[in-house]
Copies of this chain bind each other. A is one copy, B any other.
Amino acid sequence: MTTADARTPASMQNAQNAATPAENANTADAVGFADTEGAGNDEAGRSIGWHKGYVQGSRPDLRVPVRQVHLTNGKDVTLYDTSGPYTDPATDTDVRRGLAPLREHWIIARGDTEEYAGRPARPEDDGLKRTSPRTGPPLPQQGGERGEGLRNLDAVFPGRPRQPRRSRDGAPVTQLAYARRGEITPEMEYVAIRENVLPEVVREEIAAGRAVLPANVNHPEIEPMIIGKRFLVKVNANIGNSAVTSSIEEEVDKMTWATKWGADTVMDLSTGRNIHTTREWVLRNSPVPIGTVPLYQALEKVDGRAEELSWEIYKDTVIEQAEQGVDYMTVHAGVRLPYVPLTARRKTGIVSRGGSIMAAWCLAHHKESFLYEHFEELCEILAAYDVTYSLGDGLRPGSIADANDEAQFAELRTLGELNTVAKRFGVQTMIEGPGHVPMHKIKENIDLQQEICEEAPFYTLGPLTTDVAPAYDHITSGIGAAMIAWWGTAMLCYVTPKEHLGLPNRDDVKTGVITYKIAAHAADLAKGHPGAQEWDDALSDARFEFRWEDQFNLALDPDTAREFHDETLPAEPAKTAHFCSMCGPKFCSMKISHDIRREHGGEQAEIEAGMAEKSREFAAAGNRVYLPIAD
């Protein structure tokens, strides 16, 4: 704490200077290495590219990762890093062992949680032969030998056995509870360094419910991050196998791949077999918070018959997932019985899978939603693990025609009520938003949500601004995402090119993440987030000075930028040549600008005065608008 305060004023003075963390990192035990995917060479053949560095916090075990881009002009640019230990050659990672539990000491030190036996895993947890939720042959604890009844046996996570942990006395063990008590946890200091703000700012925003720090006590592997409008806009990537296709290995690979390109959180939306086991692999290997929709797994447990769902089955599933370490859960408690008929005359009805499951249950029983009825009990469970609510918008519009309708806003008002209840129980809460919304109706969504939900973080899916471009919905939605984030949305759920068409593959995941990082950063710029523009400025300087390698290494996707450049000008010298393929060597607009700067770099007055003289010099110098590359 004290140490933390000691270092933060510095970073505040430099709030406008993105390089600050780098300076710290240089004085800290920064681990450096050349990422082969980003590396280039300067004239001396020294590796440039980027390196993984760490900013030392107030305690030895608090080291915040950063990506340091080393420019050919000797300067450093430090960027936010979500890639985890995988990009640090000094740390050897093994997906079969899982990541090191960085936060374990912090959690234990708080002394408010305890380990316990936990709920035994069951075959139906993995969508296998159904047994009653309460009985049935227990599987060995995760990390034990092969699970009886599991089809895909070697899929059981082999990492060290672990006991789940929960609140000792049932009191909330949430970052919200700590923040309200005035405590700045190591997690808060960690995100303060990441965001380059004072830890006190982090504490205030969490205490006020304007930000969440998703960090389940059973997910000690994460590198803490924060979601709130005062901080950098975050991006979530969805993964998950489905009844139709894909494997555990693919999902773990998609998770690490998504975080490599900048995903701040990952949601596991698996719906097929091996849901429990897939999630275990993902959690144990994830450096970012993991979100889920427990209702999906609960539905698998009743063979897809929504009417057979019950509070007991749902609650059991929530506990199962909380013990595994899920950091935030989408809960569709706002889909109330009276709202279902409001969707009857919509163009695309209910498109949220969770929303339609709850609607089906309400119809079948003609009863109020069991999630709404048992919401307070659910709050007690989440508070005991610090699972963050992501209150789902089950009635979000599925088309331009249905945007901002009665059903959508009726549910939003209910989410507002539930947000207040959750806060009373000390549970961190964010609110999910649409969906499909034309540009002129976007602002109403964020404004209403902020008003109704007391500024709780808004977490939106896009929104898509038109429905006519399947196969390009990362773009139709990237437009809406950038706008709604500028206006205050804290986290954006990505959309891939496969949206509405199929399951995203590795390339789709990358394209979706990059597109959404663009939307998020464009919003950070528009919000005037301290330091955001330094990144653009560094790249613009490199562009103006024809430092091609620096442009590539500063790019969101260095590989593709370099590849595109090389298609037209493959020659190595071209990367330092004083022209680009657009104008060619004979004439180059950038060169002219350099001439102008050379001639008129001074003050306005002397510029006017010196014009005639300067132009004589220009003529004397041969009126060359293009100077030889050598020069």
Q: Contact residues of A with B, CB < 8 Å? A: 242-245, 271-272, 299, 303-307, 337, 340-341, 343-353, 355-357, 359-360, 363-366, 398-401, 438-440, 465-472, 475-476, 478-479, 482-483, 486, 497-498, 500-503, 505, 514-515, 517-519, 521-523, 525-528, 533, 535-537, 539-541, 543-544, 551-552, 554-557, 560-561, 563-565, 567-569, 580-587, 589-590, 592-597, 599-602, 604, 607-608, 611-612, 614-616, 618-619, 623, 625-626
Contact = CB atoms under 8 A, between A and B. Distances in A.
A345 B594 CA distance: 10
Given A537-B399, A595-B363, A568 B245 contact: yes
A429 to B, nearest CB: 24
Contact of A526 (B346, B440, B486, B594): B440
B440 A348 contact: no
Given A347-B540, A350-B592, 4 more contacts: A356-B592, A399-B540, A399-B544, A479-B518
Contacts of A539: 467-468, 470
Contact of A585 (B243, B306, B399): B243
A421 to B, nearest CB: 26
Nearest to A566: B502
Contacts of A242: 581-584
A129 to B, nearest CB: 16
B555 A350 contact: no
Contact of A479 (B344, B357, B519, B601): B519
Contact of A469 (B340, B555, B569, B581): B555
A514 B473 CA distance: 11
Contacts of A616: 366
Given A518-B472, A564-B502, A594-B349, A589 B537 contact: no
A348 B547 CA distance: 13
B503 A356 contact: no
A7 B248 CA distance: 62
3 closest residue pairs by CB, A with B: A349-B593, A502-B568, A243-B584
Contacts of A360: 592, 595, 625
A475 B472 contact: no
A623 B543 CA distance: 62
Contacts of A359: 592, 596
B568 A501 contact: yes
A244 B568 contact: yes
Contacts of A303: 586
A294 to B, nearest CB: 15
A468 B600 contact: no
Given A365-B615, A585-B243, A522 B438 contact: yes
A498 B272 CA distance: 40
A401 B533 contact: yes
Contact of A348 (B347, B478, B544, B580): B544
A468 B535 contact: yes
Nearest to A394: B589
Q: State how many copies of this chain the complex holds.
A: 2
A531 to B, nearest CB: 13
Contact of A363 (B364, B533, B568, B596): B596
Contacts of A500: 543, 551, 580, 582
Contacts of A527: 440
Contacts of A623: 305-307, 364
A102 to B, nearest CB: 29
A399 B536 contact: yes
A482 B501 CA distance: 24
Contact of A471 (B400, B469, B560): B560
A349 B505 CA distance: 41
Nearest to A515: B475
Contacts of A337: 611
A505 B567 CA distance: 10
- The residue among A242, A400, A521, A593 with the most chain B CB atoms within 10 A of its own CB is A593
B586 A243 contact: yes
A366 B623 CA distance: 12
Taking each of A344, A544, A592, A608, which has the highest tally of chain B beta carbons within 10 Å of its own beta carbon? A592
A466 B596 CA distance: 25
Nearest to A591: B356
A278 to B, nearest CB: 16
Contact of A400 (B348, B533, B587, B615): B533
A586 B540 contact: no
A479 to B, nearest CB: 5
Given A345-B601, A615-B366, A466 B299 contact: no
A485 to B, nearest CB: 9
Nearest to A559: B471
A597 B536 contact: no
Contacts of A304: 586-587, 625-626
B599 A363 contact: yes
Nearest to A299: B587
A340 B584 CA distance: 23
Given A340-B600, A344-B596, A600-B344, A540 B366 contact: no
Nearest to A338: B608
A243 B522 CA distance: 34
A244 B608 CA distance: 37
B341 A608 contact: yes
B355 A518 contact: no
A534 to B, nearest CB: 10
A505 B304 CA distance: 48
A270 B274 CA distance: 58
